[in-house]
Each structure stands twice: as structure tokens, then as C-alpha cells.
A = this chain, B = another copy of it.
Amino acid sequence: MMLRVFVTLKPSVLDPQGMTIQKTLAGLGYSQVEEVRQGKYFEIRWAGDLSAREERDKVETIVARVLSNPVIEGYRIEWPQEIPA
């Protein structure tokens, strides 16, 4: 099963990389770009059965402890369509 994970900086955390992209685009004439925030995106192929609650808990643990830094980042997991949120 394929799941997708989005890791983004918390709103209160400065994003210098995104600010650089925004300034670069403004310099290229794209003044419509008011703000850019860059995050990470992961596609994970999972062998277990994600309809089981304990399997989903394992995914949560991985995302919260390995793929993101809970001090400055938040995350969102997009489960396969057949799994209820």
C-alpha cells in the first residue's frame, strides 16, 4: 500500500529557504508570489495491512519520530483511499 506524508514547518517557524525562493521569483518578475513555504514529501510503500489500527500507529510513530522534528515541524499523513481517516 502506498501512503504519502507531508512534513511542514510550523507556522511560527521562519523558512529562510522559502523566503529565498520568493525573493528570487520576485526578482524574475513574479510579484504575484507573496509567500513560499518549503516542506518535505514522502511516498512510502508499506507491506503491512493499514486497515489495522496498530499498523497505522506504527506509521504515526515513524512519521512523528524519524521523518519529522516535532519541535519545529508538523506533519500530515495521507492514507490509501480504502482506509478511513
The yes or no answer to A51 lying at the interface (CB within 8 A) is: no
Count of interface residues, chain A, beta-carbon cutoff 8 Å: 32
The answer to whether A8 and B62 touch across the interface, beta carbons within 8 angstroms, is no
The answer to whether B38 and A58 touch across the interface, beta carbons within 8 angstroms, is no
Number of chain copies forming the complex:
2
In whole angstroms, how far apart are the Cα atoms of A41 and B38 in the complex? 6
Q: Which residue of B lies closest to A24 (CB)?
A: B66
| Residues in B whose Cβ lies below 8 Å from that of A33 | 44-47, 62
The answer to whether A43 and B39 touch across the interface, beta carbons within 8 angstroms, is yes
A-B contact pairs, 22 of them (CB 8 A): A6-B41, A8-B41, A8-B43, A21-B66, A21-B67, A24-B66, A25-B62, A25-B66, A30-B62, A33-B45, A33-B46, A34-B45, A34-B47, A35-B43, A35-B44, A36-B42, A36-B44, A36-B45, A37-B42, A38-B41, A40-B41, A41-B41
